[in-house]
Amino acid sequence: MENNEIVKIQARIPSYLWAQLEPFRFKSQNEAVNYAFEKLIEQKDINQNELIINQKKPNLINQIQVRLEEKESQIKEIRAQNEILIQNMSTQIELLSSQLSKKDEQIEKQSYHIQSLIQENGRLNIKLLPEDSKKNNPWWRFW
């Protein structure tokens, strides 16, 4: 239908409705009807757009839910790996601690052994020193 072609309609509306339209100050009833039809068409377009958006929403919601489930499964996997790593670390720490205590015991035994060797060496040095005798002559009496 062309824009220049005009269709004549007749309508009756309740007086309370017409009273509510008076503040808009339409020039004529035709202008008011044309304005109302244009708004009705705009509203229909908006409703159709909302319908399209609403049809897309479940699809988007499903995609988001799938992504959330993937993230949750990844988080669970990472937590499991972290627990395994923590257990391994605690095992290694316990092993190192036991090794350190063994090394401490070995060092303590070696220190006792070294002390006994030092004491034995001191005894041997004392035995090797010449006995102090009173027969020593002064240095000027060497004959």
Mean residue pLDDT across the chain? 83
Is the residue at 62 inside a domain? yes
Taking the model in full, what pTM does it have?
0.41
Question: What pLDDT score was predicted for residue 103?
Answer: 96
**Residue 27: is its pLDDT beyond 80?**
yes
Is the residue at 65 inside a domain? yes
Q: Output b/e per residue, 77-113; b: 16+ Cβ within 10 A.
A: eeeeeeeeeeeeeeeeeeeeeeeeeeeeeeeeeeeee
Is the residue at 82 inside a domain? yes
Is the residue at 90 inside a domain? yes
Domain that holds residue 55: 15-99
Q: Note whether 48 and 24 are within 8 A (CB).
A: no
pLDDT, average across residues 19-42: 83
- Number of structural domains in the chain: 1
